[in-house]
Amino acid sequence: MKEVSFIWVLLMLLRSSSSAVNPCCYYPCENSGVCVRFGPEDYKCDCTRTGFNGQNCTNPEFWTRIYLMLKPSPTVVHFILTHFKWFWDLVNKTFLRGTIMRIVLTVRNELVPTPPTYNTKYGYLSWESYQNTSYYTRLLPPVPEDCPLPMGTKGKLVLPDVIMLTERFLKRQKFRPDPQGTNLMFAFMAQHFTHQFFKTSHKSKGGFTKALGHGVDASNIYGEDLKRQHQLRLHEDGKLKYQLISGEMYPPKVSEVPVHMVYPEDLPAEQRLAIGQEMFGLLPGLSMYATIWLREHNRVCDVLKAEHPTWDDEQLFQTTRLIIIGEIINIIIEEYVQHLSGYNLKLTYDPSLLFNVRFQYTNRIALEFCHLYHWHPLMPDSFLIDGDEIPYSQFLYNTTVLVHYGVEKLVDAFSRQPAGQIGGGRNIHELVLRVAQTIITEGRSARLQPFNQYRKKFNLKPYASFSELTDDTEMAHGLEELYGDIDALEFYPGLMLEKTRPNSIFGESMVEMGAPFSLKGLFGNPINSPEYWKPSTFGGETGFSIVKTSTLKKLVCLNTKWCPYVDFHVPGKEEEAEPRKPLMEL
Ligand code: HEM
Ligand SMILES: *[C@@H]1O[C@H](CO)[C@@H](O)[C@H](O)[C@H]1NC(C)=O
Ligand SMILES: *[C@@H]1O[C@H](CO)[C@@H](O)[C@H](O)[C@H]1NC(C)=O
Ligand SMILES: *[C@@H]1O[C@H](CO)[C@@H](O)[C@H](O)[C@H]1NC(C)=O
Ligand SMILES: *[C@@H]1O[C@H](CO)[C@@H](O)[C@H](O)[C@H]1NC(C)=O
């Protein structure tokens, strides 16, 4: 045994003396400079258009210096946007609303490279990486293969055991509700919405996606490919197939629409619903949204058909799909992102804000975006519906829940039940802890760069220590012990364990890294381009107006018998007291 380890040490010594460490493993290039290796030991940083120069792109040019002096920190900007309500109420009524929204959008968009750059295979620009859309793109190249340590040159020789890491720092001890009042209606929207563009291909490892639309394409409603779409379509008046249960519209049975869906083997055939996204039988919250969008699609088809009696099935379908995409984007920006941001600035879905600035109407989903969106702490301990407490065992893959309660009662229940706080650690229900383990493991095989490298990429100061990352001293010590160096902390654990902002759902990094990807994906949609953003695209003023005035409440209540409490946050005091408005007032 002793000799073996002696020889091993000798070999390691020989190895390190004979082959130089790849200098890019030190991440020498600051401020988004690009590291290129020359010879065995040399490198150059390409600082072109970074505003910096010098060997490591660390010397600011004159105008950069001025800009940096004037630029407020994300903390200050966030504070201003989430305080001074009187000021923002004034802004809301003036042209300043649009002006500030434009600034928010352009500042965020500048952080997302377009055309896209790297992917999991290519840490340098390549045509293959650009044109092969089966890959998720990446903002930062992978950690070079030949680095001495898993995270580059810092930290320990082996990364912490994933099971131990998640059990200790991510597993829920006691349910901690989100202080922003986020509810399950929001959580299921998050999952439903993002699973149109996050569809990781698990059979082919290496950062591939099955979602080739790379954005808001409503493939979760219509299916990823044309074959599935045609199976789901009624081929009459542009509509989608459905089944009626006690006079109400639900997605059709798989026995009638034989598309591939993921269900447990023992689930009876008549309980299998056919939906655009094959995973959406997993949760009643997802099949509820699928039902709502199905009803909305067919409702809009009727509206269009009334105005365009000569249009064929195809044109009614295609135009309705564009309207549905517009509705989704509107609701996500003006209600979902609005809620999440906590901003007092009223966000506005007005694509014309970007018509006179440099902006490209294209998007490529990033692997980092997919990782950061693993918001499983949102999930509660059990589900409270109409006086019943339903455990996970009776909730997962149980499509009977949807039909048994109906859309109204589910919306009401999900809108009233608090979701968990995402950031701050120790809030993932045991049942989904495995998903956190998977994503950390995938982050390792994809060789994602350290959390601090991503902080820098998004113009945030890298953390100097674990105690700066989190106020929980026990956690800080534990992480220090496991990782050895704050610069070796991994991407996903960093996001989840960072201290949350006061009374907020998560910390600074999740917002500063998530918002650019999110807004680029929403506004980069072709329907927001000058060529598309006009009435004719949506079948005239009626359709255009459906897009521009869509709300979550209308989405639900124009498609249900009665209008439940519906919002992305749990009811506040005023709302509890507020009488239910009749449908006519919507
Ligand atoms: C009880 C509820 C949930 C269960 C059982 C669940 C389960 C899962 C599972 C099994 C995966 C695949 C993991 C893997 O093997 O890589 C996954 C992926 C994912 N989940 Fe969840 N999840 C739930 C709720 C949510 C919610 C509320 C969100 C909110 C955004 C979410 C976001 C994601 C994302 C972004 C992925 C990656 C998808 C992909 O890359 O294809 N999940 N989840
Ligand atoms: C650039 O970075 C390398 C590696 O981190 C370091 O050794 C070198 O001193 C730096 N050069 C300058 C000019 O700061
Ligand atoms: C913002 O202004 C619009 C009209 O410009 C008004 O309808 C809306 O209620 C205002 N919202 C807030 C939160 O003040
Ligand atoms: C993308 O790359 C993968 C891996 O090299 C390959 O299998 C696949 O065929 C490529 N896809 C396209 C559309 O070229
Ligand atoms: C499915 O949900 C229904 C309605 O809540 C319930 O009666 C039934 O027991 C559940 N099925 C399973 C297998 O848990």
Q: Which residues pair with 36 in a beta bridge?
A: 44
Q: How many other C-beta atoms can be found within 10 angstroms of the C-beta atom of residue 195?
A: 20
Q: Which atom of ligand 4 is nearest to the CA of 206?
A: 4
- Determine the 3-state secondary structure of 388 from DSSP: strand
3-state SS, residue 346: coil
From 250, 361, 373, 405, the catalytic residue: 373
**b vs e for 357-367, b when ≥16 Cβ sit within 10 Å of the residue's Cβ?**
eebebebbbbb
What DSSP state is assigned to residue 373? T
Please report the pLDDT score of residue 204 as a whole number. Answer: 84
Q: Name the residue at shortest CA distance from atom 5 of ligand 5.
A: 401
Q: Please say whether the beta carbons of 525 and 327 come within 8 A.
A: no
The closest alpha carbon to 500, from 420, 417, 437, 380, belongs to: 420
Q: Residue 14: what pLDDT?
A: 46
What residue owns the CA closest to ligand 5's atom 9?
394
Q: What are phi and psi of 573, to 5 degrees?
A: -65, -45
346 in ligand 3 pocket by Cβ < 6 Å? yes
Residue bearing the CA closest to ligand 2, atom 7: 28
Q: How far apart are CA 9 and CA 16, in angstroms?
A: 11
Q: Which ligand is nearest to the CA of 397?
A: 5
398 lines ligand 5 (CB under 6 A): yes
- CA 374 to centroid of ligand 1, rounded, Å: 6
Give the per-residue pLDDT at 495: 98
Residue whose structure tokens are 């992102």: 337
Q: Is the CB of 55 under 6 A from ligand 2?
A: yes
| CB of 107 closer than 8 Å to CB of 100 | no
Looking at residue 11, its pLDDT comes to 46
Nearest to 445 by CA among 187, 214, 204: 204
Two structure tokens written together for 224 = 């990823």
Rounded CA separation 120/129 (Å): 9
Ligand 3 near 92 CB (within 6 A): yes
Residue whose CA is closest, atom 13 of ligand 2? 55
How far is ligand 1, taken at its centre, from the CA of residue 285, in Å?
13
**Ligand 5 close to Cβ of residue 400 (< 6 A):** yes
Pairing between β-strand 118-119 and β-strand 34-38 as defined by DSSP bridges: unpaired
Residue 399 DSSP label: T
Active site residue 373: yes
The ligand whose atoms approach the alpha carbon of 133 most closely is: 4
For the chain, which ranges sit under pLDDT 70?
1-18, 573-586
Q: What is the pLDDT of residues 7-62, one digit of tens each?
A: 454 445 445 544 789 999 999 999 999 999 999 999 999 999 999 999 999 999 99
| CB 134 near ligand 4, within 6 Å | yes
- Give the model's pLDDT for residue 15: 53
In 77-149 the beta strands, taken as DSSP E runs, fall at: 118-119, 137-138
Give the ligand at the shortest distance from the Cα of 92.
Answer: 3
Q: How many CA atoms lie within 13 A of 260 on its CB side?
A: 3
